[in-house]
Amino acid sequence: MTALDVLVVSRRNVPRFKDLTPEETADMFLTTQKVGKVVEREYNGTSLTIVMQDGLAAGQTIPHCHVHIIPRRFGDWANNDDIYIDIDKTKLNEVYTTTEHTTALKVDNEERQPRTLEDMAKEAANLRKFFTDAS
């Protein structure tokens, strides 16, 4: 599985997709489209998996509306739908920070080293150059 999973998060902290205003919904998906184009190009993808787990029963582990963007290539998973199993496992590697708390969780398997905050900051800085307020 690719180590890259970019999140698009609503500015206003709402737990569920249904809690977004129509304007926020449009902004989230226009932003997802814009970020997806860059992620696919910069990480040599030929496709994207775009996922939102909306609510506890859907697998949402963090009560903040967000979309996952994952660059894809043919053969990156032997069975294409296995990505959804791995997305659930990947949640064990997420670092989630809010003003209330910070939680760092374990990686999903022993072969993969956890990404440090420094690694994630470098990745964000590399991608940031593609996004300005004017674009």
pLDDT in tens, 50-73: 999 999 888 888 889 999 999 999
Kindly list the domain boundaries of the chain, sorted by start residue: 6-128
Query: In which element (H, E) is residue 40 found?
Result: helix 22-42
Q: Which residues of the chain have pLDDT under 70?
A: 1-3, 88-114, 133-135
pTM higher than 0.75 for the full model? Answer: no
Set 64, 66, 68, 101: catalytic member: 66
**66 belongs to the catalytic site:** yes
The CA-atom distances, in angstroms, between 76 and each of 10, 46, 104 are 29, 11, 27
* Superfamily name and number for 6-128: HIT-like (3.30.428.10)
